[in-house]
Chain A
């Protein structure tokens, strides 16, 4: 520790490291706080809307109010069919979400679902994509990309400095063995880098922790994340140690470590990206859109037949009285067509999900090629921010849509007025949580890859440490 503190560079590096951690922790906390605010606003708006509709219905039935055009709470088309009938399905951020930003604004925490909501739509965003392109400055980035550079700066001459200064034999003549000296120095570096990380991660994750959730699992997940980060830190330290045990100069070690960083952080991920694109091309959204439009057009042209088919499948649901133009379109055309569209689109949607999953699988398979990639992927999966994991939100929204249709479908088809009892039967929008077990299972292969890299570099470092010999003039054993 004295060695680090005695050099201005060492102190500056530690200060810089702490500054970066603080900034990343604050960013993560801001991101998750924003997500909670989005969830809270959506829930409040939903509760207010449904309570308002219910209150108006009570007032109309009590004779103290008159229904408005397009705002009659008894009308199924006014109340449950359009945008006003949509309810928020919420994906609660995981305890580790503060540490991984993921796709940021393209991964909303809330999805609105209703009777005829198109759940295949893209994520809405008004963000400047230039901000998204660089990616978030989250703790995952700071650890995966920048931590190795701090290890490089602190440890590239952990032993080579004495070799450069030609006092290595003197060091070797001490009763403590060289591997022990290196281990002690690296332990100090480890503490200098890891302890601030422990503080940043704990503060960030615990401050974003929802008081409604139990604390213990959150602490457990934070501890796991820190253990993984420790493993990753150890990997780079052992790499530095291995290079130092070779008889190279400190400058050569620095260049070798910089090369390893370049390969792990920039080059291999680029190669893996190209390989994944070739092996499992991403879903072709444009073709998908054309397919969707083709289906929609076809079904629009067959709207009458679809209504007849619906009537045949749901006897006794025809409207009893005359309808206005607006309701006629909803009942005779839109609703039966929405059901038919969902059924027709199901195979295309399944294909889309499968293509996305295939791509994710290839990322997982190839992540072990770079410890940085493995760390990044594992931590993102543990944080539950990958697109494949977020698919659950859409799945749940679809389930909710079906529940809504089961309750209100007959009302819409027959235009039977809604009653208070119907309002009370409205399915409650659900809250989705990604179970830790599932997240861990998904992250396991990447963690295994990271562990394998760690074991390999540890074995190399130990072998080089054992083979390390003091130069001949002072090697009294030879």
Chain B
């Protein structure tokens, strides 16, 4: 019986011309954006490689220079991207494309596309994942809003129940039919995306990429299934198909269009970040005046001079057998690192609170948490960017420290000027980075993941009671 009901539902869906047209439209759009994303991914991978190689070459051939000036010349790094980026570019359109590592300061991602294009540049749908999640959910709504309510309006529900069809089985058959329809539409989409993912970068298509892809497929399945049974449940509860459609469209608009902006608004209002100027001032104040009862830089420098003179048993800095400027730079950077870490922890606490506020808007629908999970699995969410930035920061510290040590070793007394050439710059090891594994990605996105599953549970609960309530 279940299969008969499902087949009937499938037949009805096939006959609905509007739905077919909408499905084709969504499919074409998804294909277009996925292909565009694929092309962009390949082009950018090439450009990134060229950029990093040229930047390294420029570092090695920067000419004879003081090591500290070389440290200010710095390095440019770009975050590597996983093949899944072609499908979900995550926060990329709004995030800086390069990190500039230089002396004294923790770097931030710079040169965001938004800076050049403005807010208009990120209007509409920007990647395949958005199309799939936003328009896919809309398609599910259009397919399912009338599944029960329409039969009630047409009077066929009364006939069916009079024939002794158990309401829950009929409900399950409806869901099965719609699910099959979704699977028929979704399978070629998924296969196509997998193929594109593989072709985007065959070398990077390893176990981690496959695991991320599988997790992404499963979570999309959960997401759409939540929409599907939620939509059928609303259809069962609603008196008319029109009412069901209005409610479902309301949830779709609230969760898909309004919630992302509401999330960012709530986050930035209730967990505000300091301005760049205020942040920089707080760091400078800590450096100048000290913090937690510790002295500021001037007092530390005086103490360092005293200790160094005592250590080498000389009366003035000019008589030191080592370069004091190197010692001073190392002490300054060590102090700076502590200040930087202290402020970074504060920032991180604010970021965490912001992410919690993002989760609040999941009450409006599963779209916001789904976006977070999807971007995370594609390796394009804020935690992935921060992971890369942290690795880059450790690298920066190592390089700057080695250059400061060079000053200590090669200079004498309180001299500052000295120059080194390409052989020294070439000895600086290149930056290497491994993207975190898929389990890490799932761990950092556990909250949003649970929220998506929570929406499925909620939809299933409404469906359970809705199926029991089915009446003509």
Contacts and interface: CB of A to CB of B under 8 A. Distances in A.
Interface in A319-356: 325-326, 329, 356
Interface string B236-272: 0000011001100100010001101111110111000
Interface string A229-271: 0000000000000000000001100110010001001111111
B108 interface: yes
A128 B90 CA distance: 13
A266 B98 CA distance: 29
Contact of A134 (B54, B242, B264, B416): B264
A441 interface: no
B382 A258 contact: no
A294 B264 contact: no
Nearest to B74: A293
A86 interface: no
Interface in A105-147: 105-106, 108, 110, 121-137, 141, 145-146
Interface residues of B, number: 81
Contacts of B195: none
A124 B58 contact: no
A108 B280 CA distance: 15
Contacts of A445: none
Interface in A5-49: 9, 20, 23, 27, 30, 34, 38, 41-42
Contacts of B262: 137
Contact of B58 (A42, A105, A286, A297): A297
Contact of A135 (B96, B125, B264, B273): B264
Contacts of B94: 129-130, 132-133
B116 A282 contact: yes
Interface stretch (B61-69, B209-217, B390-398): B61-69
A293 B120 contact: no
A110 B78 CA distance: 28
B118 A124 contact: no
A71 B453 CA distance: 61
Given A131-B267, A387-B118, A300 B381 contact: no
A283 interface: yes
A363 B120 contact: yes
A149 B241 CA distance: 19
Contact of B123 (A136, A300, A373): A373
> Which of A30, A254, A286, A373 has the largest number of chain B CB atoms within 10 A?
A286
B187 interface: no
- Prevailing SS type, chain B contact patch: helix
A145 B249 CA distance: 14
B91 interface: yes
B34 to A, nearest CB: 12
Nearest to A263: B25
B47 interface: yes
A271 B123 CA distance: 10
Contact of B124 (A41, A136, A269): A269
A127 B134 CA distance: 26
Contact of B265 (A23, A100, A250): A23
Nearest to A12: B250
A131 B262 CA distance: 10
A329 B285 CA distance: 28
A255 B97 CA distance: 40
A103 B118 contact: yes
Nearest to B381: A130
Nearest to B106: A126
Contacts of A287: 51
Contacts of B93: 133
A131 B385 CA distance: 14
Contacts, number: 215
Contacts of A101: 119
B453 to A, nearest CB: 21
A137 B261 contact: yes
Contact of B91 (A108, A121, A130): A130
Interface in B79-136: 91, 93-98, 108-126, 134
A103 B114 contact: yes
A162 interface: no
A326 B124 contact: no
A325 B68 CA distance: 14
Interface in A270-297: 270-274, 282-287, 289-290, 293-294, 296-297
A141 B264 CA distance: 13
A293 B115 contact: no
Given A126-B279, A380-B118, A293 B58 contact: yes
> Which of B94, B263, B277 has the largest number of chain A CB atoms within 10 A?
B94
Given A254-B245, A290-B51, A270 B124 contact: yes
A102 interface: yes
A285 B111 contact: yes
A385 interface: yes
B263 A134 contact: yes
A127 B36 CA distance: 28
A170 to B, nearest CB: 22
B279 A376 contact: no
B358 interface: yes
Contacts of A325: 415-417
A468 to B, nearest CB: 23
A326 B416 contact: yes
Contacts of B95: 129, 132-133
Contacts of B33: 270
Nearest to A153: B246
B413 to A, nearest CB: 12
4 tightest A-B CB contacts, nearest first: A269-B124, A270-B124, A122-B110, A131-B264
24 contacts: A20-B258, A23-B265, A30-B269, A101-B119, A103-B115, A103-B119, A129-B91, A129-B382, A130-B94, A131-B264, A132-B91, A134-B260, A141-B261, A266-B125, A267-B125, A268-B124, A270-B123, A273-B126, A286-B47, A289-B111, A290-B51, A293-B58, A297-B73, A380-B119
Given A251-B242, A286-B78, A297-B61, 10 more contacts: A23-B265, A38-B277, A129-B95, A132-B91, A132-B94, A286-B111, A294-B58, A296-B73, A325-B416, A363-B120
